[in-house]
């Protein structure tokens, strides 16, 4: 195994211009890059998950912020690959990216970064200062030779920051580890208009043409912002939370058409329509569900061009001059709970459109659909996204 030859390992665990660039403008550039990265990462995860019929749910912002934090300590080709993989153009310097994330990480969600450092490891002070200032990193010293105790310390920290939603981030540790960099995000939202629990009833969810599973289906007749995207043959439902977040539920005629065609442009179009158009009355059915996902991202990120950080070509001398420093694992876990009151996320056969009463169309999410949670804070960002294939697993 390649990492067995390394003298020291860095674990990266993820829980979502030289030109003068104004700080506000740079935030939009980094945000746009993050949006593109979101869909690139989604398609890679979907390619791996589809053959196994798995749900997909992750925080692309959480992953990108962790990789951006790692890039603070990367140099040479390793740094170039990280910036390229994250979609940062040549006009962006590390300093500009750091300042942008300092702004983006000040949303309503509980999010941040943590560094767990081995007692014997001596990182560069500039690296630590940047992570604390721009990525709001907490720092902790541990003895990684005591693998069980170190894993317990990391798991306790993550569990506290995600309010128990992710309680076992680390299964095992390599005693050669000298640093763990963790990015986490937790969000709990309450619907502006809540579903009445008395209207929740058991119904069928059609996983595919031959498989159906029983689910608890929530129901509400109210005014909603919707958008029929004819290009993607997809119905979009916007469910706002009581703060600056909203959930987009995407119900396509053909899932592959949506997955292959969706882009940040479509999300912006839907959001603008939701703000500008008058809401229309719909009879909406949405399954009540709770899912948890876990990903090892080494292969996925390598496929996206970020290869050197995992092997003996890694250049992480911005973290420390210690030789043989490389990333051993990039792991991401996420959870999503949807019920009558709202949704809690921590770092997604048969459409019925008819009439139950005069002029009130039915919108029923009883087959695979996509979900995107976005934040409106002046710089709209995709915080979570995924695909719900089977809400019972």
User: For position 351, what pLDDT does the model report?
Assistant: 18
Ranking 99-108, 273-282, 344-353 by mean pLDDT, the lowest is: 344-353
CB 155 within 8 A of CB 170: yes
Whether the pLDDT of residue 107 is over 90: the answer is: no
Instruction: Please state the pTM of the whole predicted model.
Output: 0.86
Whether the pLDDT of residue 111 is over 60: the answer is: yes
Same domain, 17 and 128: yes
Query: For 167, phi and psi rounded to 5 degrees?
Result: -105, -5
Intra-chain end-to-end CA distance of the chain, in Å: 33
Same domain, 203 and 331: no
Whether the pLDDT of residue 9 is over 80: the answer is: no
Over the stretch 145-172, which tens digit does the pLDDT of each residue have? 898 998 899 889 888 888 888 888 888 7
Highest mean pLDDT among 21-35, 45-59, 203-217: 203-217
Which uninterrupted H or E stretch holds 228?
Answer: strand 212-229
Query: For 111, phi and psi rounded to 5 degrees?
Result: -150, 155
Same domain, 111 and 49: yes
CB 319 within 8 A of CB 115: no
Whether the pLDDT of residue 33 is over 80: the answer is: yes
Angle, CA 324 vertex, CA 321 and CA 325 arms, to 5°:
70
Same domain, 82 and 101: yes
**Average pLDDT, stretch 355-372?**
74
Which residues pair with residue 293 across a beta bridge? 334
User: For position 275, what pLDDT does the model report?
Assistant: 59
Mean pLDDT (the chain) is: 82
Q: DSSP string spanning 255-282? A: HHHHHHH--HHHHHHHHHHHHHSPPEEE
DSSP secondary structure code for residue 210 in this structure: S
Handedness of CA 320, 321, 322, 328 (dihedral sign): positive
Measured between alpha carbons, how far is 272 from 236 in angstroms, rounded to an integer?
Answer: 12
**Average pLDDT, stretch 61-83?**
92
Same domain, 173 and 248: no
Same domain, 139 and 228: no
Whether the pLDDT of residue 13 is over 50: the answer is: no
Confidence tier at 365 by pLDDT (50, 70, 90): very high
Whether the pLDDT of residue 119 is over 80: the answer is: yes
Which uninterrupted H or E stretch holds 203?
Answer: strand 201-206
Measured between alpha carbons, how far is 144 from 100 in angstroms, rounded to an integer?
Answer: 32
Q: 157 Cβ partners below 8 Å, 6+ apart? A: 114, 116, 138, 140, 182
Residue 132 lies in a domain: yes
Whether the pLDDT of residue 5 is over 50: the answer is: no
> Which of 299, 314, 336 is where one domain is finished?
336
Confidence tier at 335 by pLDDT (50, 70, 90): confident
Same domain, 220 and 274: yes
Residue 63 lies in a domain: yes
Give the residue with greater pLDDT, 352 vs 301: 301
- Count CA within 13 A, CB hemisphere, residue 81: 20
User: For position 356, what pLDDT does the model report?
Assistant: 28
Angle, CA 27 vertex, CA 79 and CA 162 arms, to 5°:
80
**Number of domains, the chain:** 2
CATH code of the domain in which 86 resides: 3.30.497.10
Confidence tier at 347 by pLDDT (50, 70, 90): low
Residue 128 lies in a domain: yes
Handedness of CA 75, 80, 86, 87 (dihedral sign): positive
Q: DSSP string spanning 27-80? A: HHHHHHHHHHHHHHHHHHHHHHHGGGT--EEE-HHHHHHHHHHHHTT--HHHHH
Confidence tier at 51 by pLDDT (50, 70, 90): low
Same domain, 348 and 256: yes
Ranking 70-84, 119-133, 176-190 by mean pLDDT, the lowest is: 176-190
When computed from its CA atoms, the radius of gyration of the chain, rounded to whole angstroms, is 22
Same domain, 147 and 55: yes
Over the stretch 176-232, which tens digit does the pLDDT of each residue have? 888 888 888 888 888 888 889 999 999 999 998 889 999 999 999 998 899 999 999
CATH code of the domain in which 230 resides: 2.30.39.10
Residue 393 lies in a domain: no
Same domain, 157 and 256: no
Measured between alpha carbons, how far is 30 from 259 in angstroms, rounded to an integer?
Answer: 23
Query: For 156, phi and psi rounded to 5 degrees?
Result: -65, -45
User: For position 379, what pLDDT does the model report?
Assistant: 61
Residue 52 lies in a domain: yes
**Average pLDDT, stretch 133-143?**
88
> Which structural domain range is residue 177 located in?
2-188+291-336
Residue 133 lies in a domain: yes
Measured between alpha carbons, how far is 73 from 118 in angstroms, rounded to an integer?
Answer: 17
User: For position 273, what pLDDT does the model report?
Assistant: 81
User: For position 4, what pLDDT does the model report?
Assistant: 31
Q: How many residues does the chain have?
A: 393
Residue 241 lies in a domain: yes
DSSP secondary structure code for residue 320 in this structure: -
DSSP secondary structure code for residue 231 in this structure: T
Class of residue 176 by CB neighbours under 10 A (exposed 0-12, middle 13-18, buried 19+):
middle
Same domain, 116 and 253: no
Q: DSSP string spanning 156-196? A: HHHHHHTTTSS----S---TTEEEEEEEEEEEEEEBSSPPP
CB 306 within 8 A of CB 14: no
Whether the pLDDT of residue 330 is over 90: the answer is: no
Whether the pLDDT of residue 337 is over 60: the answer is: yes
Whether the pLDDT of residue 62 is over 70: the answer is: yes
Same domain, 90 and 173: yes
């Amino acid at each position: 195994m390649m990492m067995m030859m390394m003298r020291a390992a860095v674990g990266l665990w993820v829980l979502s211009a030289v030109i003068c660039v104004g700080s506000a403008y740079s935030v939009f550039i980094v945000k746009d890059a993050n949006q593109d990265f979101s869909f690139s990462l989604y398609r890679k995860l979907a390619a791996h998950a589809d053959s196994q019929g798995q749900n997909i749910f992750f925080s692309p912002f959480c992953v990108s912020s962790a990789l951006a934090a790692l890039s603070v300590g990367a140099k040479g080709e390793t740094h170039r690959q990280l910036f390229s993989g994250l979609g940062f153009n040549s006009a962006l310097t590390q300093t500009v990216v750091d300042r942008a994330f300092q702004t983006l990480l000040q949303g309503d969600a509980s999010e941040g970064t943590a560094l767990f450092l081995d007692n014997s490891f001596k990182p560069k002070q500039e690296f630590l200062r940047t992570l604390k200032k721009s990525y709001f990193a907490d720092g902790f010293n541990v003895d990684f030779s005591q693998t069980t105790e170190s894993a317990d310390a990391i798991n306790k920290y993550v569990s506290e920051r995600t309010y128990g939603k992710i309680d076992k981030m680390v299964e095992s540790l390599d005693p050669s580890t000298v640093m763990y960099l963790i990015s986490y995000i937790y969000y709990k939202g309450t619907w502006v208009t809540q579903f009445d629990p008395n209207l929740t009833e058991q119904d069928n969810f059609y996983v595919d043409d031959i498989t159906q599973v029983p689910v608890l289906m929530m129901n509400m007749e109210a005014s909603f912002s919707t958008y029929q995207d004819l290009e993607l043959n997809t119905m979009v439902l916007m469910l706002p939370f009581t703060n600056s977040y909203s959930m987009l539920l995407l119900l396509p005629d053909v899932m592959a058409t949506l997955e292959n065609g969706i882009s940040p442009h479509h999300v912006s179009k839907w959001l603008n329509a939701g703000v500008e158009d008058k809401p229309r009355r719909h009879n909406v059915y949405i399954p009540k569900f709770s899912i948890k996902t876990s990903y090892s991202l080494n292969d996925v990120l390598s496929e996206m061009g970020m290869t050197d950080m995992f092997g003996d070509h890694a250049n992480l001398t911005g973290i420390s001059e210690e030789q043989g420093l490389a990333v051993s694992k990039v792991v991401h876990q996420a959870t999503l709970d949807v019920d009558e009151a709202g949704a809690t996320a921590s770092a997604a056969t048969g459409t019925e459109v008819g009439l139950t009463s005069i002029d009130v169309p039915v919108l029923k999410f009883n087959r695979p659909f996509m979900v995107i949670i976005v934040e409106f804070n002046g710089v709209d960002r995709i915080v979570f996204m995924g695909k719900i294939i089977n809400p019972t697993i």
